[in-house]
Amino acid sequence: MRKIFALLALSLLLALAQQGIACTNYLVTKGASADGSTMVSYAADSHIRYGELYFRPRGTWPTGTMVTLYDRGTAKPLGQIPQAPETYQVIGFMNEYQVAIGETTFDGRSELYDSTGIVDYGSLMFLALQRSKTAREAIKVIAELVEKYGYASTGESFSIGDPNEVWIMELIGKGTDLKKDKKTKQMYNANKGAVWVAIRIPDGYISSHANHARITTFPLESEKNSISSKNLDQINNPEVEVVYSHDVISFARTQKYFEGADSEFSFSDTYAPLSFDAARFCEMRVWTMFNSVNSDMAKYWDYAKGIDLKNRMPLYIKPDRKLTPQDLMSFKRDYLQGTELDMSQDAGAGPFGLPYRWRTLTWQHEGKTYFNERATATQQTGFSFIAQMRSWLPNPIGGIFWFGVDDASTTVYMPIYCAINRVPETLAEGNGDMLTYSPTSGFWAFNRVAHFAYLFYNRVMPDVKKAQSELENKFAAYTPAIDAAAQKLWETNPELAVDFLTDYSVNTANSTVARWNELSNFLLVKYLDGNLKQEKDGKFIRNPWGYPASPSYPGYNEAWKETVVKDTGEKLLHPDSKK
């Protein structure tokens, strides 16, 4: 029986590996943001994830109501648990109380996958959002759910934020140890549950995680401001800054993972040992974000490259400047530009400087293994967001879910207020899927532009960035006015304020998708057949008689020409050049 469960666990891990190393999160505290908001970001990177805006309205449920849980990666039903008497509205991964959650997966020790668990990481996110009014409550919900029903995923790092605090929580299962109950004769998992640690990011600091566990050592319950899960009822004490499962160290000892003093215990080093892959493919994305806002990150460059694994980056840093949502949008679009690893600068970029490499991440040639860089921006993003939480505003106005579908480099982050009572048609669930094209879907509109950009990247991206900046800058400029108008309505008619925010969010998203469809048509005409049409201010130029002005023929760069000549020798050499 244990061999069967081990095979099931291995199958899951292989499936996750085939999806690639996915997802990048940023965490920003009030004191580190330009306006005093907290922010949590997330990129849902997956080859099968469709870009749509989830909507779960507030509800009340009679006793006995059950909720079915599904595996986030396959949609397979995992089991049922009792529904809460009341659930809160959730838009994407942000609820009506401005609680937001993001995640990144780390495999960790493969033997710790619990094949009997029924609550996976996706269910934990949705259930916590539906049942929590603060980040601390969300941590408590997650801890209690995995303890009671078992954890059905590999290792996970969660970004959890509310208008006042931002936390990182990392957890992993405890494996499958089947026993038979002497009374019921039923089999059960003696290791059901998970080991975990949650840490509040200090105000004025930022953090990040990208598919590797980042929590190392942490203060224990015997020290100040830390509690174990045995005292989870004390989590709302504002002095508590660290919470952890009571057996996070003792379980490691029983498994022979750790033998040192409790004070030396490191969650990451124990449950997800660091490797070259973890540093180069995961921690590198954290480094690029940190390096963008802190001038002291050069000393961790060799660590991020996987050369010096002993010089670990800190869990959080203090930025040199205050950050805005637009900063986080920019960080999402990083492809290692400005570093020696910039993928647009080597031969793999082709003649048009493409900073992407199609999967697989590692590849074989003549018996040796090579790899592509794993940058933050990636083609297989289903959707991404920056959740902005503002404590000085009523919750329906304070929470903005900046939402984009498809590749972050070519998307537009649209402002969706957390209290909206309907979803934009262009982003709605069921409007197409990963195997069904829909002409009214935002996901397909953004994919069309992205794939055109992949063909002629360094030519097309200036047009994309121009349209992107125009829209995002406009949304940022509109926000204070929208906030003020909504506040005015809120004072006399909260319901009307919600309707106003809904209309703004829906109309903005739908008009953005319409603009992107226009851009797609424009790009097709401008770059048709590899030529370059003459245009000015977005209008194509005709001659005095109305006929199209002749296009230019940009051709290829010198590096590409040199590569072709080296490969073909004199096969393509013109006879006149031989004289």
Written in H, E and C, the secondary structure of 385-420 is EEEEECCCCCHHHHCEEEEEECCCCCCCCEEEECCC
Residue 50 near residue 432, CB atoms below 8 Å: yes
Mean pLDDT of the chain: 95
> Residue 374 falls within a domain, yes or no?
no
Last residue of a domain, one of 316, 334, 352: 334
Lowest mean pLDDT among 134-148, 174-188, 297-311: 174-188
Q: Are residues 171 and 155 in the same domain?
A: yes
Last residue of a domain, one of 334, 351, 378: 334
pLDDT of residue 3: 45
As a whole number, mean pLDDT of residues 200-219 equals 98
Task: Categorise residue 110: left if φ over 0, alpha if ψ from -120 to 50, beta otherwise.
Answer: alpha
Give percent of the chain above pLDDT 70: 96
Alpha-carbon distances, residue 336 vs 58, 332, 382 (angstroms): 41, 11, 21
| Nearest alpha carbon to residue 383 among 141, 91, 88, 131 | 91
> Residue 219 falls within a domain, yes or no?
yes
Distance CA 272, CA 276 (A): 12
Distance CA 229, CA 234 (A): 9
Residue 441: give the domain boundaries. Answer: 393-530
As a whole number, mean pLDDT of residues 215-242 equals 96
pLDDT of residue 182: 84
pLDDT of residue 9: 44
Q: How confident is the model at residue 386 (pLDDT cuts 50, 70, 90)?
A: very high
pLDDT at 110 over 70: yes
As a whole number, mean pLDDT of residues 456-464 equals 97
Q: Are residues 325 and 408 in the same domain?
A: no
As a whole number, mean pLDDT of residues 120-139 equals 98
Cα-based angle 231, 236, 241 (whole degrees, multiple of 5)? 80
> Residue 185 falls within a domain, yes or no?
yes
Q: Are residues 524 and 539 in the same domain?
A: no
Q: Kindly report, residue by residue over 524-552, the tens digit of the pLDDT.
A: 999 999 999 999 999 999 999 999 999 99
Q: Are residues 137 and 158 in the same domain?
A: yes
Q: How confident is the model at residue 11 (pLDDT cuts 50, 70, 90)?
A: very low
| Nearest alpha carbon to residue 84 among 102, 104, 106, 59 | 59
Alpha-carbon distances, residue 138 vs 202, 235, 287, 346, 407 (angstroms): 18, 10, 28, 45, 29
Q: Which residues contact 418 (CB under 8 A, 6 or more apart)?
A: 89, 91, 94, 95, 96, 98, 395, 396, 398, 399, 400, 401
Distance of CA 239 to the CA centre of its chain: 29
pLDDT at 158 over 50: yes
pLDDT at 569 over 90: yes
Residue 359 near residue 307, CB atoms below 8 Å: no
Q: Kindly report, residue by residue over 392-408, the tens digit of the pLDDT.
A: 999 999 999 999 999 99
Cα-based angle 44, 390, 27 (whole degrees, multiple of 5)? 40
pLDDT at 12 over 50: no
As a whole number, mean pLDDT of residues 310-325 equals 98
Q: Are residues 195 and 79 in the same domain?
A: yes
Q: Which residues contact 256 (CB under 8 A, 6 or more apart)?
A: none
pLDDT of residue 4: 42
Q: Is the peptide bond before 270 cis (omega within 30 degrees of 0)?
A: no
> Residue 570 falls within a domain, yes or no?
yes
Q: Are residues 539 and 464 in the same domain?
A: no
Q: Are residues 287 and 153 in the same domain?
A: yes
Q: What is the 3-class SS of 518-529, one letter each residue?
A: HHHHHHHHHCHH
**Whole-model pTM over 0.85:** yes
Q: Kindly report, residue by residue over 138-154, the tens digit of the pLDDT.
A: 999 999 999 999 999 99
Q: Are residues 568 and 508 in the same domain?
A: no
> Residue 235 falls within a domain, yes or no?
yes
Number of domains in the chain: 3
Last residue of a domain, one of 293, 315, 334: 334
Residue 423 near residue 400, CB atoms below 8 Å: no
Helix/strand/coil percent split, the chain, to 5: 35, 20, 40
> Residue 377 falls within a domain, yes or no?
no
The alpha helices in 493-554, defined as continuous H runs, are 494-526
Q: Are residues 513 and 573 in the same domain?
A: no
> Residue 34 falls within a domain, yes or no?
yes
As a whole number, mean pLDDT of residues 240-266 equals 98
Q: How confident is the model at residue 21 (pLDDT cuts 50, 70, 90)?
A: low
> Residue 272 falls within a domain, yes or no?
yes
Pair of tokens at residue 290: 């940190």
Which residues are registered as beta bridge partners of 53?
428
Distance CA 202, CA 219 (A): 14
Q: Kindly report, residue by residue over 60-104, the tens digit of the pLDDT.
A: 999 999 999 999 999 999 999 999 999 999 999 999 999 999 999
Q: Are residues 143 and 288 in the same domain?
A: yes
Q: Are residues 441 and 548 in the same domain?
A: no
**Cα four-point dihedral sign 95, 99, 103, 108:** negative
Distance CA 211, CA 107 (A): 8
Pairing state between β 77-82 and 166-173: unpaired
pLDDT at 227 over 50: yes
Q: Are residues 172 and 117 in the same domain?
A: yes
Residue 554 near residue 532, CB atoms below 8 Å: yes
